[in-house]
Amino acid sequence: MTTFVLIPGAGGAAWYWHRVVPLLTAAGHTAIAVDLPGANPTAGLREYERIVLAAAAGADRVTLVAQSMGAFTALGVCDRLPVEQLVLLNAMVPAPGETPGQWWDNTGHEFPADFDEHAHLLHDVPPEVGAAGASHQRPEADIAFAQPCAFDRWPDVPTTVLASREDRFFPYDFQARVAHERLGLDVVPTPGGHLAALSQPEAIVAALAPSAVRNLH
């Protein structure tokens, strides 16, 4: 079976994956949701990489899964783990040496001027799940936005880019363009919004490990 190493986006809360982990483990896989110190003003991408490497120590047959800004951490560790597959979910697909702060201008995507947490991120998340997540929310400190992604070329690892059709933060067509321009890949459409692992956990697990969902029914 596969070890899924699950990297969250900005803020770094492992809780983001809490609806995905039990579905993977029930199907016999190992699922490691990594918690990152996103709010720590002295931690950044290099510290995130160390934490992911420590969490995955000893694992083999790794599928590395990164949500949103988590892609910048994933690409920094991909060559240092036995990664069989890299999966990016509604991700900031990085270029070599790019910082998360540069990514916005480089991809031509602007942070929504009218940003509203519910409208852009939580619109399709069940209310009870969103309420439970309030205590897990934390900001992303500035330090990580100024640090370059630690890879020189895209790793020689099969890569899948999952893009949610109802994502209001990184719209589907935008994600498709970036994946094509930067990786030459077509995105794999999934239901849900930006936080699809919270709103559509079975669909995300089906995309990660199709047999896992079949085995649960």
Single out the residue of 93, 96, 114 nearest to residue 104, CA to CA: 93
Domains contained in the chain, CATH given: 3-215 (3.40.50.1820)
Digits of tens for pLDDT over the chain (217 positions)? 899 999 999 999 999 999 999 999 999 999 999 999 999 999 999 999 999 999 999 999 999 999 999 999 999 999 999 999 999 999 999 999 999 999 999 999 999 999 999 999 999 999 999 999 999 999 999 999 999 999 999 999 999 999 999 999 999 999 999 999 999 999 999 999 999 999 999 999 999 997 665 555 4
Write the DSSP symbol of residue 118: I
Enter the pTM of the model.
0.96
Residues 6+ apart with CB under 8 A from 127: none
Give 89's DSSP letter: E
| Contact between residue 216 and residue 27 where contact means Cβ atoms under 8 Å apart | yes
